[in-house]
């Protein structure tokens, strides 16, 4: 485990166990193995690798899974099973045999476990509707902005073996479907939080859950989602049984982090990669992955084709300073859910940076891919020449491309909106702190752009925006600073006119962290809108509701506190981050608290709020 990919050990791991290591001999062996294989990066030579203090708050089973079948298995390949167990138990101070024995919630009984075919799915994808607008209208929820201060906690669910919660739930059939860091997908009863069924995957599920539509009992609805090591799943929504599973590509670094899109019997799966971190090793031939969308027959799981964001296959273009091959073009991963535009026969995706040099013209871009065969119909690049990988964060910078960033991905899903005059507009937000409006009828011609925030590797618009009418709501992270990302940080919520790109209002998030570790004021998580309000979670653990017209904070909920969960134990919320924005259904709001990655406050709770009875 001697590359910067070890930062994902901390990113992939979970709540600390409470027991001590079984024996001092095991602890000593684990410490020696950690010093030999892990400490080089976690000791500070890689700036984003979590320090030992973060590794020590994780659970032993999650560490063990990460180095056995998860994102760290390549780095742990030389360790046998006993050695891996020793590392896991040394880091967490807990035994693999005793941790997390208690179920997270009771099993459902009676009516609570029955699937209601009259309760159709409320959404067509991660963004609620197929256009990714993330507006929960009055056909989905009865809640309005003025109702939010009245909400009270109905139940709290603790994700087992977790320090983060990043999968956006979906509602259908009276169930709430959600993935978790330890690879379990849960079907919970919406009203009580009891468990209807569970399904175990290979690795963490951080994608949102997508539910297929149905007409009646003659059709078995399916759930669709992906895991951290690149598997896409279809699971029976009623029984939790596997229908099919596939890995779209054989690339070892393939990962699925965004919810797929489902349209007319086809499943569109966005592909990204963890190869950007492997490049910290000078001996790694960087880089061979290229982003794309894999398209499946949703019922059978037959893969139809892949539409790549880089049409050219990577090839060797030179050597690095130690003689390892340099390979390009690479990168341009897709971190967000595709937008399906059936009217124009395309889907819109946003891409990330190139991993190797030379940078090409499809990184940091909005791209329209054909729905027929995946070829690039048009592209609009926003930040040319952005090639970056984790080699740039090491002292030697052997694999760092000469461009050296600035790593301005489009992490937030692209949106297709229609303004009040009937004009369609493609909307996008970038880690540069900019938001954009593009014309889908003119080959993606830029209608407007507005730089709202400072931007950075974890700055700018991070995971998701929302649209109500003519207003775009853009949460701003602005976590990073320094000479590479000059300017003044502007953490908070912005409202922008989608016709002109002009700022309507901005509400800054006051820094209330007061020196707390891993606490920041920025808004990293995806926002969600209802009539009269937009709701956004901040990295300080607070969920805030803003008046849609004025930006005034009308409700402030602190979730970075202990909660008594359904199993009777105490669990803790933390920072908000990732694509798991609040979900509304009827008079209820469901939200996950705990980002627990890249130096943000960990947590592992799923919270259900509703109006008083």
| Residue 504, pLDDT above cutoff 80 | yes
CA distance 412 to 403: 23
Q: Is residue 97 part of a domain?
A: no
Q: Render 552-599 in DSSP notation, one character per residue.
A: -EEEEEE-SSEEE-TTS-EEE-----SS---EEEBTEEEEEE---SSS
State the CATH number of the domain containing residue 527: 2.140.10.10
Quick one: 10 and 151 in the same domain? no
Q: Is residue 343 part of a domain?
A: yes
| Residue 24, pLDDT above cutoff 60 | no
366: β partners: 350, 380
| Residue 161, pLDDT above cutoff 90 | no
Q: Is residue 315 part of a domain?
A: yes
Of 166, 288, 142, the C-alpha closest to 225 is 166
Of 191, 259, 181, the C-alpha closest to 223 is 259
Quick one: 299 and 434 in the same domain? yes
Quick one: 362 and 286 in the same domain? yes
Of 30, 93, 21, the C-alpha closest to 58 is 93
Q: Render 317-358 in DSSP notation, one character per residue.
A: EEE-TTSPEEEES-B----SPPEEETTTTEEEEE---BSSSS
pLDDT band at 88 (very low <50, low <70, confident <90, very high): confident
233 within 8 A of 250, measured Cβ to Cβ: no
pLDDT tens string 233-277: 999 999 999 999 999 999 988 999 999 999 999 999 999 998 998
393 within 8 A of 457, measured Cβ to Cβ: no
What count of residues does the chain have? 613
Q: Is residue 56 part of a domain?
A: yes
329 within 8 A of 385, measured Cβ to Cβ: no
pLDDT band at 613 (very low <50, low <70, confident <90, very high): confident
- Residue 568: phi, psi to the nearest 5? 85, 0
Comparing 281-285, 429-433, 507-511, 596-600, the range with the smallest average pLDDT is: 596-600
277 within 8 A of 347, measured Cβ to Cβ: no
Average pLDDT over the chain, rounded to an integer:
89
Boundary residue ending a domain (92, 127, 145)? 92
Quick one: 280 and 180 in the same domain? yes
Q: Which pLDDT score is estimated for 9?
A: 33
Based on the structure, what is the number of domains in the chain?
A: 2
Q: Which helix or strand (DSSP H or E) is residue 24 part of? A: helix 24-37
Quick one: 536 and 591 in the same domain? yes
Q: Is residue 111 part of a domain?
A: no
Q: Is the dihedral of CA 225, 228, 232, 237 positive or negative?
A: negative
Q: Tokens standing for 279?
A: 């490049």
CA distance 476 to 574: 18
Q: Which pLDDT score is estimated for 41?
A: 67
CA 76 to chain CA centroid, Å, is: 25
Boundary residue ending a domain (47, 76, 92)? 92
Question: In percent, how much of the chain has pLDDT > 90?
Answer: 71
Quick one: 364 and 478 in the same domain? yes
Quick one: 183 and 53 in the same domain? no
CA distance 607 to 98: 27
pLDDT tens string 194-233: 999 999 998 889 999 999 998 766 678 999 999 988 999 9
Paired sense of beta strands 588-593 and 170-172, if any: unpaired
State the CATH number of the domain containing residue 67: 1.10.760
CA R_g for the chain:
23
Quick one: 508 and 464 in the same domain? yes
Quick one: 64 and 192 in the same domain? no
pLDDT tens string 553-589: 999 999 999 999 999 999 999 999 989 999 999 999 9
DSSP state, residue 170: E
Q: Which residues of 244-264 are buried (b: 16+ CB within 10 A; e: fewer)?
A: beebbbebebbbbbbbbbbbe
More confident: 67 or 116:
116
Q: Is residue 104 part of a domain?
A: no
Q: Is residue 12 part of a domain?
A: yes
Mean pLDDT of 460-474: 97
pLDDT tens string 348-374: 999 999 999 999 999 999 999 999 999
Question: Which residue's structure tokens are 């752009």?
Answer: 449
Boundary residue ending a domain (59, 92, 125)? 92
Q: Tokens standing for 44?
A: 């500070």
152 within 8 A of 207, measured Cβ to Cβ: no
Quick one: 183 and 54 in the same domain? no
pLDDT band at 483 (very low <50, low <70, confident <90, very high): low
Quick one: 133 and 58 in the same domain? no
CA distance 241 to 577: 30
Q: Is residue 100 part of a domain?
A: no
- Range of the structural domain that residue 357 is part of: 116-610
DSSP state, residue 15: P
Q: How many CA atoms lie within 13 A of 349 on its CB side?
A: 37
Q: Which pLDDT score is estimated for 609?
A: 98
Q: Which pLDDT score is estimated for 128?
A: 79
Quick one: 23 and 76 in the same domain? yes
DSSP state, residue 44: I
Q: How many CA atoms lie within 13 A of 543 on its CB side?
A: 29
Q: Render 117-146 in DSSP notation, one character per residue.
A: TTS--S-SBTTBSTT---EE-TTTB---GG
CA distance 142 to 341: 28
Q: Which pLDDT score is estimated for 519?
A: 92
Highest mean pLDDT among 113-117, 540-544, 601-605: 540-544
Taking CB atoms within 8 Å and a gap of at least 24, the contacts of 419-428 are 419/470, 419/498, 419/499, 420/469, 420/470, 420/499, 421/499, 423/499, 424/343, 425/498, 425/499, 426/339, 426/348, 426/366, 427/465, 427/467, 427/472, 427/498, 428/350, 428/366, 428/382
CA distance 197 to 340: 31
Helix (H), strand (E), coil (C) string for 229-274: CCCEEEEECCCCCEEEEECCCCCCCEECCCCCEEECCEEEEEEEEC
Q: Which pLDDT score is estimated for 91?
A: 81
């Amino acid at each position: 485990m001697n590359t910067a990919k070890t930062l994902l050990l901390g990113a992939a791991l979970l709540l600390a166990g409470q027991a001590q290591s079984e024996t001092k001999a095991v602890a000593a062996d684990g410490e020696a193995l950690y010093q030999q294989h892990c400490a080089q990066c976690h000791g500070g030579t890689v700036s984003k690798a979590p320090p030992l203090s973060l590794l020590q708050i994780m659970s032993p089973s999650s560490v063990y899974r990460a180095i056995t079948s998860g994102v760290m298995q390549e780095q742990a390949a030389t360790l046998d099973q006993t050695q891996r167990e020793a590392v896991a138990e040394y880091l967490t101070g807990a035994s693999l045999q005793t941790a997390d024995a208690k179920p997270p919630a009771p099993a459902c009984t009676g009516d609570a476990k029955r699937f209601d075919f009259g309760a159709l799915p409320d959404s067509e994808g991660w963004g609620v509707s197929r256009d990714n607008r993330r507006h929960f209208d009055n056909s989905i929820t009865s809640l309005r902005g003025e109702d939010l201060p009245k909400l009270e906690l109905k139940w709290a669910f603790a994700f087992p073996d977790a320090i983060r919660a990043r999968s956006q739930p979906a509602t259908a059939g009276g169930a709430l479907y959600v993935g978790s860091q330890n690879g379990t997908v849960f079907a919970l009863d919406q009203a009580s939080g009891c468990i209807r069924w569970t399904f175990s995957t290979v690795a963490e599920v951080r994608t949102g859950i997508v539910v297929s539509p149905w007409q009646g009992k003659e059709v078995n609805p399916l759930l669709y989602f992906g895991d951290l090591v690149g598997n896409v799943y279809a699971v029976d929504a009623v029984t939790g049984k596997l229908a099919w599973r596939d890995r779209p590509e054989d690339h070892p670094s393939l990962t699925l982090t965004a919810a797929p899109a489902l349209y007319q019997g086809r499943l569109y799966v966005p592909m990204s990669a963890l190869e950007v971190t492997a490049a910290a090793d000078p001996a790694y031939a960087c880089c061979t992955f290229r982003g794309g969308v894999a398209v499946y027959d949703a019922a059978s799981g037959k893969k139809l084709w892949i539409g790549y964001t880089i049409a050219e296959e990577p090839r060797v273009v030179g050597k690095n300073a130690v003689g390892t091959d340099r390979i390009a073009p690479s990168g341009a991963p897709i971190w967000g859910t595709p937008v399906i535009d059936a009217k124009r026969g395309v889907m819109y995706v946003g891409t990330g940076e190139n991993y190797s040099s030379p940078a090409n013209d499809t990184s940091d871009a909005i791209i329209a891919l054909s729905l027929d065969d995946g070829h690039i119909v048009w592209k609009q690049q926003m930040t040319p020449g952005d090639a970056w990988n984790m080699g740039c964060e090491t002292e030697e910078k052997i694999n760092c491309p000469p461009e050296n960033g600035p790593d301005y991905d489009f992490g937030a899903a692209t949106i297709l909106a229609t303004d009040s005059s009937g004009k369609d507009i493609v909307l996008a937000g970038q880690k540069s702190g900019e938001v954009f409006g593009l014309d889908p009828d003119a080959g993606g011609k830029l209608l407007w752009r507005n730089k709202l925030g400072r931007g950075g590797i974890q700055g700018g618009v991070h995971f998701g925006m929302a649209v109500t009418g003519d207003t775009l709501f853009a949460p701003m992270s602005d976590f990073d600073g320094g000479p590479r990302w000059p300017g003044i940080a502007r953490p908070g919520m912005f409202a922008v006119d989608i016709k002109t790109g002009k700022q309507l209002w901005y509400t800054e998030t006051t820094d209330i962290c007061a020196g707390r570790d891993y606490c920041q004021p920025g808004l990293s998580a995806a926002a969600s809108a209802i009539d009269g309000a937009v709701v956004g979670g901040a990295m300080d653990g607070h969920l805030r509701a803003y008046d849609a017209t004025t930006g005034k904070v009308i409700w402030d909920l602190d979730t970075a506190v202990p909660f008594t969960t359904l199993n009777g134990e105490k669990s803790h919320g933390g920072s908000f981050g990732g694509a798991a924005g609040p979900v509304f259904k009827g008079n209820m709001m469901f939200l996950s608290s705990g980002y627990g990655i890249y130096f943000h406050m960990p947590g592992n709770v799923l919270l259900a709020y509703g109006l008083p009875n």
